[in-house]
């Protein structure tokens, strides 16, 4: 009972604890019985163990279930999972857009799905050709000289890009003196973490009153000790960094490199080429911009594109053209490649999905996707801006719109209360409390795949809730979510003292952590 306070008390409204077809599901260990089994196992015959007396003498404490019990358990759990296939998922900075089924079909083609990374390259020519084609379009869309496909997430791409920058600094013999990376204070947490992980010191650059990074602020922090800047564009406030070209020039003039966090490429793909903005390295989240189911733990793919100056330092494996074919170069010997960041070649299935997405959209379609993503975010902004407050004033945003909690000031309610109430309305909440530079941030990214009708319903639900908050209907928020399988967890406690181990006869409530 140690964690009984982790869950707010919920009135038991039904005998079973179920709510209509929303069925309460305990852990397998709590429902299984050691003496039951769904399979017939022969009793072991007479044999002499050869474990020198170390053999286990007690039966293993595994839950036994019949096949229908096991099936129901997992199906019920799967129905508790909210997903983009179930409804609008406005999680800012995550680009939760529809994943076309065509991509899935292509990724399951046996020639892609059933190959093994240790197969001789001569037997997987089609797969290498597909990787080369994807690489070509990523370089074309970004106007960059090289791409390392292998990183397996956005953060991993950041790491690969920053390692290429570090290798370039080492090649210049400046590793002892250039050991600082500039990171704006609005950056995604992965940026400073990446820089620190490979031994750089992080120097913060403040954003201006308008939520943008200005060249003067960057110049103030630049010096001969600076190796690179890591800037996100569009930034995490959903705004395009307008002075990015001037910032790039200042960074280059100081002998440093320009790393761009390209996780928000969905807003500009087909409209702006990062290479034209003076960027030296940028990761692209294939799972965001080019659609792959994500959010439940991957797989992700974060290819990193590199400028001409950084191209020689790209990690292995990289593709080399051999006449009509491509060969994957596996070893760094004889090149300036900094090494490798993954075993094998990266996420093949995601390469297929990303290329299928590009082919099915075409150049005009990719551009329109970016335009529609921006249009949809601005539609949401226009529909809500007369009720909810925006930290940098009411002006056009990119693919996501940022609100703060100033408008809740006299209600006694917080961003968290508002987000929890949204769950009762059947929506996954927006990103909350990020970016950190904005107090009580609510970051909404509807993406281009929502229809006008679905946006209208969402903004009506938001307006209804907002008006209730302003009218003082506190009870609606204080115990929200009222209709979810779990209400409010003590999140701090869950994070500080997570219960990661099942203990026998633990109360069912513990399972929620």
Q: Which residues bind ligand PLP (CB under 6 A)?
A: 93, 153-155, 188, 190, 232, 236, 261, 263-264, 285, 300, 302
Considering beta carbons, is residue 131 or 155 the nearer one to ligand PLP? 155
Q: Which residue is nearest to ligand PLP (CB)?
A: 154
Considering beta carbons, is residue 265 or 326 the nearer one to ligand PLP? 265
For residue 291, the minimal CB distance to ligand PLP (Å) is 14
Cβ proximity of 59 and 396 under 8 Å:
no
Considering beta carbons, is residue 300 or 391 the nearer one to ligand PLP? 300
The beta-carbon contacts of 309-313 under 8 Å, at least 24 apart in sequence, are 309/168, 309/257, 309/280, 310/146, 310/161, 310/164, 310/165, 310/168, 310/257, 310/280, 310/281, 311/145, 311/146, 312/336, 312/337, 313/164, 313/165, 313/167, 313/168, 313/171, 313/337, 313/338
For residue 92, the minimal CB distance to ligand PLP (Å) is 8
The residue assigned the tokens 């096991």 is: 70
Considering beta carbons, is residue 154 or 270 the nearer one to ligand PLP? 154
For residue 220, the minimal CB distance to ligand PLP (Å) is 24
Half-sphere exposure of 495 toward its Cβ, with a 13 Å CA cutoff?
A: 3
Within its chain, how far is the Cα of 471 from the centroid? 36
Instruction: Give CA–CA dist 353/99, Å, rounded.
Output: 9
The CB density around residue 119, as the number of other CB atoms within 10 Å, is 10
For residue 154, the minimal CB distance to ligand PLP (Å) is 2
Instruction: Give CA–CA dist 329/132, Å, rounded.
Output: 13
For residue 4, the minimal CB distance to ligand PLP (Å) is 34
Instruction: Give CA–CA dist 151/425, Å, rounded.
Output: 37
Looking at residue 407, what DSSP letter applies?
Answer: G
For residue 157, the minimal CB distance to ligand PLP (Å) is 8
For residue 75, the minimal CB distance to ligand PLP (Å) is 28
Considering beta carbons, is residue 266 or 449 the nearer one to ligand PLP? 266
Considering beta carbons, is residue 270 or 300 the nearer one to ligand PLP? 300
The residue assigned the tokens 């609008």 is: 88
Considering beta carbons, is residue 6 or 165 the nearer one to ligand PLP? 165
Closest to 158 (Cα-Cα) out of 188, 202, 179, 203: 188
> Which tokens is 270 given?
């087909």
> Which tokens is 391 given?
């930290």
For residue 166, the minimal CB distance to ligand PLP (Å) is 19
Considering beta carbons, is residue 255 or 299 the nearer one to ligand PLP? 299
Cβ proximity of 167 and 213 under 8 Å:
no
Cβ proximity of 258 and 280 under 8 Å:
yes
For residue 212, the minimal CB distance to ligand PLP (Å) is 15
Within its chain, how far is the Cα of 341 from the centroid? 19
Q: Strand, helix or coil at 109?
A: coil
For residue 86, the minimal CB distance to ligand PLP (Å) is 21
Output phi, psi for 443, to 5 deg.
Answer: -110, 115
For residue 285, the minimal CB distance to ligand PLP (Å) is 5
Question: What are the distances in angstroms from CA 382 to CA 188, 316, 432?
Answer: 26, 47, 20
Total residues belonging to the chain: 513
Looking at residue 224, what DSSP letter applies?
Answer: T
Cβ proximity of 241 and 213 under 8 Å:
yes
Considering beta carbons, is residue 32 or 234 the nearer one to ligand PLP? 234
Closest to 44 (Cα-Cα) out of 52, 33, 56, 29: 56
Output phi, psi for 444, to 5 deg.
Answer: -110, 120
Instruction: Give CA–CA dist 28/502, Å, rounded.
Output: 11
Considering beta carbons, is residue 400 or 510 the nearer one to ligand PLP? 400
Considering beta carbons, is residue 158 or 513 the nearer one to ligand PLP? 158
Considering beta carbons, is residue 305 or 413 the nearer one to ligand PLP? 305
For residue 262, the minimal CB distance to ligand PLP (Å) is 8
């Amino acid at each position: 009972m140690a964690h009984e306070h982790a869950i707010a008390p919920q009135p038991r409204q039904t005998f079973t604890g179920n709510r209509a077809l929303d069925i309460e599901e305990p852990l397998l260990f709590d429902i299984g019985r050691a003496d039951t089994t769904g399979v017939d196992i022969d009793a072991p015959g007479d044999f002499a163990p050869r474990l020198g007396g170390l053999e286990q003498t007690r039966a293993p404490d595994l839950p036994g279930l019949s096949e229908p019990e096991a099936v129901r358990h997992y199906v019920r759990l799967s129905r508790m999972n909210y997903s983009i296939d179930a409804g609008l998922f406005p999680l800012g900075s995550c680009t939760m857009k529809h994943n076309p089924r065509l991509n899935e079909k292509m990724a399951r083609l046996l020639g892609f799905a059933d190959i093994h990374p240790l197969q001789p390259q001569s037997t997987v020519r089609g797969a290498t050709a597909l990787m080369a084609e994807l690489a070509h379009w990523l370089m074309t869309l970004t106007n960059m000289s090289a791409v390392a496909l292998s990183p397996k997430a956005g953060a991993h791409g950041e790491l690969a890009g920053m390692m290429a920058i570090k290798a370039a600094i080492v090649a210049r013999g400046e590793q002892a003196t250039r050991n600082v990376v500039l990171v704006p204070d609005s950056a995604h947490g992965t940026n400073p973490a990446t820089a620190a992980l490979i031994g750089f010191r992080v120097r913060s650059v403040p954003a201006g009153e308008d939520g943008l990074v200005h060249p003067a602020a960057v110049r103030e922090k630049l010096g001969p000790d600076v190796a690179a800047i890591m800037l996100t564009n569009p930034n995490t406030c959903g705004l395009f960094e307008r002075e990015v070209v001037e910032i790039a020039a200042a960074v280059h003039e100081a002998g440093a490199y320009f790393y761009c966090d390209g996780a928000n490429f969905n807003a500009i793909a087909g409209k702006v080429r990062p290479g034209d903005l003076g960027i030296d390295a940028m990761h692209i989240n294939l799972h965001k911009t080019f659609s792959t189911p994500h959010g439940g733990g991957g797989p992700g793919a974060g290819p990193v594109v590199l400028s001409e100056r950084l191209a020689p330092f790209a990690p292995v494996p990289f593709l080399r053209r051999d006449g009509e074919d491509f060969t994957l170069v596996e070893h760094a010997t004889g090149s300036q490649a900094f090494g490798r960041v993954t075993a094998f070649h990266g996420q093949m299935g995601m390469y297929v999905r990303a290329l299928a997405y590009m082919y099915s959209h075409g150049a005009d379609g990719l551009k329109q996707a970016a335009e529609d993503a921006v249009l949809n975010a601005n539609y949401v902004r226009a529909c809500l801006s007369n009720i909810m407050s925006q930290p940098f004033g009411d002006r056009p945003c990119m693919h996501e719109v940022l609100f703060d909690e100033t408008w809740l000031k006299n209600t006694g309610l917080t961003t968290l209360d508002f987000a929890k109430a949204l769950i009762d309305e059947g929506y996954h909440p927006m990103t909350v409390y990020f970016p950190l530079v904005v107090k009580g941030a609510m970051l909404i990214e509807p993406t281009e795949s929502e229809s006008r009708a679905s946006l209208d319903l969402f903004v009506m639900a938001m307006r209804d809730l907002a008006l209730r908050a302003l009218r003082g209907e506190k009870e609606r928020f204080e115990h929200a979510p009222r209709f979810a399988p779990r209400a409010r967890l003590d999140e701090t406690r869950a994070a500080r003292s997570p219960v990661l181990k099942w203990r026998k006869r633990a109360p069912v409530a513990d399972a929620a952590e």
